[in-house]
């Protein structure tokens, strides 16, 4: 007896309700059935609706069973011969029969995936009911028996009540076979439940599979706004006018509500049962709102935030036309003001079949994308000289992964062109080690090649896996490999790439994390599927720090210093000149008979027992700018007078030519001008260096010169000597006994016993007059 529908149009099977949701999630939508009723009443006003003709409670069309059997045949668990109870034949890798629409294709994969989950239970039922032993079926048809048996027990062993568009004799033959043994099959199922103490057949599944199955029935719908055709404000306005209300968080979703995703601003979230209502707004059919899993939208958003204005994007891995369109739409919206050099999106499609490539092109065209370029070559064959890669700055790498963090793997694999060979492993809750190693090896190759491209500034690596081998470990090993390669090439030991925080992390949270833990991860929950995202950015080249001598050498090579005057010496030249002056000064000190000491004014002392004539150079009155040429220190003597002047000067003579013999000769010639030289030394203790506010001043060292004997025929006492000199000289006399011989006979005069001789003088006012007799 066939059960009647209740008021909502749904069959009531409490014991198998969760299993029915796993077989056909869309068929369990209450709003979906309501939409069909509304479409029948007013077809003129209703937009194109999704094809919802497949319901697991009533069975499937013959074509769905046939396609599901092929999928099961290609992916079922093949046991060893000693443990094998049912033979399915040896053929694998069969080509799928053609299906007329996408909904039947999806329903066939859902049915095959559910059959894979319960393969062990279904085989026990065949053996325990004796149907396989008493009336065996050909091995080639046992896959069809398995998928139809699962659907048969899911319908409580009741006949199909679906609309039949096509009759396939093979399917009808197996259906009649199962109907004949339905009593024995039902009894066998009951014994299995008692034996394993099962409230429902779902209890026999692994714990991880059960959790995913429960989460998949409650996952909300994620939809991103196609900014090439609409805007976020426009979409929100249309939804509110259609009766939707906006809430603040996903936890508040209930009824006709929606909210904005906390990580991606262009994504809206809806309750799972509102897909039919969304079609009624024409937002989905007009490609303004695109339903896609959130994990597929993280990568495009991260790429958009990292891409510079004059740069392109390269997409590599496993993805759908929706992901490509989302990336292109985000980039076009960000740089819509740049109409000349708009960024392009290059897509490697070498792993896609012809059908998948054609579907991608149609999807991209329907979304309104014009900046997408396809690359048919394999990614690892692309070299740095490829013209298409010259502007590529960011790579979005979404390789094939285990999809172990996705609660609804069938929908995800079909939508994102994933690997259907993983269905058997996913149905058992774990991935075989051999398959995992194969996936990791390919992921390593892709990320290593991405890090080798010299013009790439960032690589975004995204997976939907819960295995660390596919996530953090792959990234860390790739960074180590890149560093090892740089060391072998003799490059600096600074790393080329580093792990950076993703744009979905808050700034405070990103700063608190270590560089090795800056990966973004979403754990699978009832609100979202799990995902992993890593952002690898190129480390900028360190600034080159040149030593001063290197800067001077480079300036000399470019001829910059040639334009400067000869008075502008380099530090090295000034040091060499100072060394030569010190050597000359040390030679002259050995020839001292008469010394002239130049001291600052505040170092002068008066002593009662001696008189010293000292010269003072007033530094405060000699402020000169760095642009003025220094004056020379000179001592001038005219006929009957001797004049001396001092100032800062660049040395002109570095030898000891100013000897005593030359000075004697010059004094016998009138008028005579004598130039006094100086040398600087920073270590002279007698003359402390004064703090200068202007250009740097040099400390003067005592300079010695020799004068010939001066004859004073008429002796004048020291007390009268002060009146014979200008009072401004402030001279101090020192008496010194000297025996002076007369020119005529060499005899000494009495008055010349003691002659005051000018041995030391202070050139404070720079002039002094000495009279000869």
The DSSP call for residue 635 is: E
The DSSP call for residue 531 is: E
Q: Is 397 exposed, middle or buried (0-12, 13-18, 19+ CB in 10 A)?
A: buried
∠ Cα 425 427 428 (to 5°): 70
Q: How far apart are the first and last CA of the chain?
A: 158
- 454: its two tokens: 């010299």
Our answer to whether residue 464 is catalytic in this structure is: yes
Q: Is the dihedral of CA 421, 423, 424, 426 positive or negative?
A: positive
Provide the CA 317 distance to its chain's centre, in angstroms: 20
Strands 641-645 and 767-768: antiparallel
d(CA 88, CA 86): 6
Catalytic residue among 264, 296, 348, 464: 464
Strands 245-246 and 257-260: parallel
C-alpha atoms less than 13 angstroms from C-alpha of 291 in its C-beta half-sphere: 19
Q: Is 171 exposed, middle or buried (0-12, 13-18, 19+ CB in 10 A)?
A: buried
d(CA 376, CA 351): 9
Residue 145 contacts residue 181 (beta carbons within 8 Å): no
Q: Is 350 exposed, middle or buried (0-12, 13-18, 19+ CB in 10 A)?
A: middle
With a CB cutoff of 8 Å and minimum separation 6, the contacts of 247 are 253, 257, 258, 259
Residue 294 contacts residue 195 (beta carbons within 8 Å): no
With a CB cutoff of 8 Å and minimum separation 6, the contacts of 50 are 26, 103, 275, 276, 279
**Cis before 410? omega within 30:** no
- 316: its two tokens: 């590599």
d(CA 666, CA 664): 5
CA-nearest of 466, 463, 354 to 404 is 466
The DSSP call for residue 670 is: S
d(CA 232, CA 235): 5
Residue 400 contacts residue 442 (beta carbons within 8 Å): yes
Other residues' Cβ atoms within 10 Å of the Cβ of residue 425: 20
- 417: its two tokens: 């062109």
d(CA 539, CA 541): 6
CA distances from 471 to 426, 465, 468, 512 (A): 18, 7, 5, 21
d(CA 677, CA 704): 9
d(CA 78, CA 714): 139
d(CA 254, CA 263): 21
Catalytic residues: 464
């Amino acid at each position: 007896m066939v059960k009647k529908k209740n008021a909502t149009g749904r069959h009531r099977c409490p014991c198998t309700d969760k299993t029915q949701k796993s077989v056909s999630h869309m068929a369990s939508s209450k709003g979906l059935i309501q939409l069909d009723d509304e479409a029948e009443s007013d077809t003129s006003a209703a937009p194109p609706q999704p094809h919802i003709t497949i319901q697991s409670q009533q069975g499937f069309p013959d074509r769905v069973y046939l396609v599901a059997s092929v999928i099961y045949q290609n992916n079922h668990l093949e046991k060893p011969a000693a443990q094998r109870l049912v033979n399915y034949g040896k053929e694998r890798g069969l080509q799928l029969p053609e299906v007329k629409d996408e909904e039947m294709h999806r329903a066939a994969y859902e049915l095959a995936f559910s059959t894979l989950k319960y393969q062990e239970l279904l085989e026990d039922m065949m053996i325990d009911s004796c149907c396989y032993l008493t009336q065996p079926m050909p091995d080639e048809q046992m896959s069809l028996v398995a998928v139809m048996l699962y659907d048969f027990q899911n319908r409580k062993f009741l006949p199909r009540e679906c609309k039949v568009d096509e009759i396939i004799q093979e399917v009808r033959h197996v259906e009649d076979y199962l109907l004949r043994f339905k009593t024995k099959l039902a009894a066998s199922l009951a014994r299995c439940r008692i034996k394993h103490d099962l409230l429902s057949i779902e209890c026999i599944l692994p714990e991880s599979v059960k959790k995913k199955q429960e989460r998949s029935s409650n996952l909300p719908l994620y939809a991103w706004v196609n900014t090439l055709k609409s805007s976020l404000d426009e979409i929100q306005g249309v939804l509110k006018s259609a009766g939707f209300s906006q809430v603040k968080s996903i936890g508040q979703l209930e009824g006709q509500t929606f909210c904005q995703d906390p990580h991606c601003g262009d994504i809206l979230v809806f309750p799972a049962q509102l897909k039919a209502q969304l079609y009624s707004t024409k937002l989905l059919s007009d490609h303004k709102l695109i339903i896609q899993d959130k994990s597929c939208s993280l990568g495009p958003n991260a790429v958009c935030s990292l891409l510079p204005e004059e740069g392109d994007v390269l997409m590599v891995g496993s993805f759908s036309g929706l992901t490509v369109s989302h990336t292109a739409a985000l980039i076009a919206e960000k740089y819509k003001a740049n109409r000349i050099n708009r960024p392009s999106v290059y897509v490697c499609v070498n792993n896609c079949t012809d059908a998948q490539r054609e579907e991608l092109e149609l999807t991209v065209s329907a979304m309104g994308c014009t900046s997408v370029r396809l690359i048919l070559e394999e990614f690892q064959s692309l070299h740095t000289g490829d013209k298409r890669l010259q502007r590529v700055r960011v790579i979005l790498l979404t390789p094939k992964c285990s999809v172990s963090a996705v609660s609804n793997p069938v929908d995800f694999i079909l939508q994102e062109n994933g690997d259907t060979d993983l269905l058997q492993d996913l149905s058992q809750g774990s991935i075989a080690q051999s398959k995992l190693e194969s996936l990791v090896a390919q992921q390593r190759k892709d990320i290593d090649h991405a890090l080798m491209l010299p013009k790439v500034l960032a690589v975004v690596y995204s997976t939907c896996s819960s295995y660390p081998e596919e996530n953090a470990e792959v990234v860390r090993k790739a960074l180590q490999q890149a560093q090892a390669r740089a060391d072998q090439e003799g490059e600096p030991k600074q790393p080329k790439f580093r792990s950076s925080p993703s744009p979905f992390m808050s700034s405070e949270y990103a700063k608190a994390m270590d560089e090795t833990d800056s990966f973004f991860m979403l754990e699978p929950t009832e609100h979202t599927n799990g995902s992993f995202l890593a952002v690898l950015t190129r480390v900028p080249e360190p600034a080159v720090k040149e030593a001063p001598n290197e800067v001077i050498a480079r300036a000399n090579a470019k001829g910059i210093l040639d334009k400067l005057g000869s008075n502008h010496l380099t530090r090295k030249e000034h040091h060499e000149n100072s060394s030569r002056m010190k050597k000359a000064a040390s030679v002259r000190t050995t020839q001292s008979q008469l010394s002239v000491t130049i001291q600052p004014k505040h170092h002068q002392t008066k002593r009662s027992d001696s008189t010293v004539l000292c010269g003072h150079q007033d530094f405060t009155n000699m402020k000169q700018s760095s642009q003025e040429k220094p004056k020379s220190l000179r001592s001038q003597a005219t006929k009957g007078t001797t004049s001396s002047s001092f100032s800062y000067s660049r040395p002109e003579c570095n030898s000891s030519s100013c000897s005593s013999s030359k000075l004697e000769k010059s004094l016998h010639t009138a008028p005579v001008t004598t130039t006094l030289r100086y040398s600087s030394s920073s270590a002279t203790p007698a003359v402390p260096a004064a703090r200068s506010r202007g250009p740097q001043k040099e400390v003067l060292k005592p300079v010695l010169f020799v004068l010939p004997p001066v004859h004073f025929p008429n002796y004048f006492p020291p007390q009268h000597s002060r009146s014979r000199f200008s009072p401004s000289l402030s001279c101090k006399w020192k008496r010194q006994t000297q025996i002076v011989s007369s020119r005529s006979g060499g005899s000494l005069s009495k008055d010349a016993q003691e002659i005051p001789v000018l041995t030391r003088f202070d050139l404070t006012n720079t002039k002094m007059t000495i009279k000869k007799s």
